[in-house]
Chain A
Amino acid sequence: MSAIIRLGMSTSDIAAGAEATFLALQSAVRHRQLPVEIKRTGSLGASHREPVVDVEIDGQSTLYGPVTPERVRPLLDQHFGSGGRGVSSDWLISRRNDRSDYPFLGKQVKVTTRLCGLIDPYSLEDYLAHDGYEALKKALKMSPEEVVQAVLDSKLRGRGGAGFPTGIKWNLIRKSPNFPKYLICNADEGDPGAFMDRATIEGDPHKLLEGMIIAAYAIGASRGYIYARAEYPLAVSILRHAINQAREYGALGKNILGSGLDFDLTIKEGAGAFVCGEETALMHSIEGKRGMPTMRPPYPAQSGLWGYPSNINNVETLASISSIVLNGPDWFAGLGTDKSGGTKAFALTGAIQRSGLVEVPIGTPLRELIYDIGGGCADGHDLKAVQMGGPSGGCIPANLMDTIIDYDELRATGAIMGSGGMVVLDDTVSMVNMAHYFLSFTQDESCGKCVPCRVGTRKMLNILQRLLAGRGRMTDIDNLRRLCITVGQGSLCGLGQTAPNPVLTTLRYFEDEYMAALEGGANGNVQAQLAAEVTA
């Protein structure tokens, strides 16, 4: 009998109490002298059932959650002992390897998060056992141009929010005659409620590294940086460990895998500013300056880090690369729509039954994601809207749930694909409150450089506050609309340019709530509740 027990130990599992479960599991297995390997893995994504335990015996896996320390003993009895009287079906998640009995997992198509929850992020052997670094070997046998072409053909678009085609970006920097070139991974993940990048790194760090090394080869970069969010200590330590392993393995450093390619990586930890996710601000921050955006052009590909050509990609973008190279661009393109290939991970939160990290093909209708995978709203409430793209995004009302997940289709609704934050709002939520919540975030995080964002968002917030307190003035709605234009069109960087989106979309779809607020104020306490849900 070969038995593996996997326990999710990502930041979200730990928040759910996975450490106590691990200690209970470890001592029970030792005590009973069971022939079981305990593997600490990243997160499977099922946040609503964490801590999650996967018992795999002779290739047959059974998934449980939430597994509290008290549930460890009956669980072991069930599989290795006297029988299973103590195991409740409430904490059984799935008995099938393909998870088809649990739609939250069974309906997903996992590419970048495929190994999250399966392998030990500290084990290079685990990664190698799942085709790890095979894509790199394959890429090194191709020419850099061929790699760029594959990425072009894959129709991969940047997952950091704006959706710029990655192959085109790579081509731009590849053609620059200036050296050295820098490759930067944007792991700042600042949207409140978003945790896709964290989960990817904590579950499968080598996938990101492999993607970066292939990218470096393709664009001709000799040095790379991973700009990691300060609040991600676990992800950073896992990355550090993985970088050292990759160096020992020969995949980083000089003469990578005997190919003659030289490339090495440094981690730079941020200091907790949302605006440092903006690419120019991010580069200034790496340079040791204050993280403040500057005008583009020059674009990073022309003059980036320390004035040299630089390429910035999001974690998920780079984590897709190895799959594209290994399985072929056509396979990747085929997953998505005509104009956009692959899958996208979302952090599904808010008033949803099954929250967590979900990865679906581009082109999936929102309805499928919210209802089939997420199970609809919790506690019998009705869906009101879905907020996508965090503070830079907008809300999509319930009647537009047939919209497919695609950069252009989502933009047409006024929302954006964004980096993957998806907050489900039920019929108890005041939309004015919702707009206020996100705007107060951007208002706070404005870098202060330009006046539409620095002062304009403040004035918008003042108006929303007044409306919510029932002290709205007749001019307020007009002023709010005017400010949306000036802030959105007039701001220097993406933070300010997108800050009005939550207000614009709620004004578009829920104007009646603004009017009601103007007349009598809105129900007061939803604000705090929403904040709690978003950051949960």
Chain B
Amino acid sequence: MSEMQEYIVDATNKILKKHVTKELVDASEKGEWSDQLWDVLVESGLVSVGIEEGLGGTGGDATDGFAILRLAGKYAAPVPIFETIIAGWLLADHKVETTYEPISFSMNIESDLNSNDFVLKQVPWGRHVKKVVYIGEINGAFKIAILPTDHATVKLNQNLAGEPLDELHFSGIELEKITQFDVDQQDTFNRVMTLAALGKSAMMAGAMEQVLDMSVFYAGERQQFGRPIGKFQAVQHHLSALTAETAVVLAALNYAIVAFQEGTIKEELPLAKMKISESAGKVAGIAHQLHGAIGMTHEHQLHQLSRRLWAWREDYGNESYWAKKLAKTYIENNDLTLWEFITNEKRGNVNV
């Protein structure tokens, strides 16, 4: 970790620890906007990390962003920090200055925007963001474009974790007049999927670290049969399994991030996202078993993390999506034996 990253991690940790309470997450689920938290994050430059200072950013690189997202996942921060950071990077690719507003992004590879009235489904945090970075076709050409949401009405929807996943009904937008950039479809799709899958992986890793911490705490505190449940071997095995999954998830995440940083990331992305999504479900399940009925209550905090793990493991490709995709390229475009594939240091043979 660079010195700058250590500083960022430390600052983020302090801010999130102070501001993200269970009540804040609850309120966000009821539709409230966490303005105080957002403002602190903006003022500290954490939503504009990985963007050069010339564009209004904080500097640093994407790995700093992933470090922030790991903590955002850990604390279940109820703000569109993932969306804003990644949308910001996509815009910075095209030298668009950052505006410090909450923004979201939406990738559409199924249809073409070709009228002034259209619907974007499942826009994360749609109700609270000022802009949506649209990645998809506009009038038949593949674009990255900025859609201002003041032209949109919102049909509320949410994911498993109660995070906004809204339907935006745009009307009266003149598509020719919005800021937009011609981009290569495949490259852009890959870039968005890479950033987003890594970002969500980092958030899941953080959430798993927190679930492990909560479970260790609970096992030491909750008493049955006259002693802490952590004294029972069956419960210890749950703790061990949680530790193991969290450690292996970090090993997957950290390798993928280094590959990304070195500009060589290829099959590391599906391999890491598959493993992390798989572990997310295991960790959530084991932690609930360990917590007993209290973990099933809204009052307890566990669900704020377990529901996020269940939601996020599906985002930007679950295990099955990436496994099939990798299988297809493995068959079509790869002469390596499995062992060569796994130990291949000069990646690049298998393009996913």
- A and B from one complex: no
**Residues of B with Cβ closer than 8 Å to A?**
none
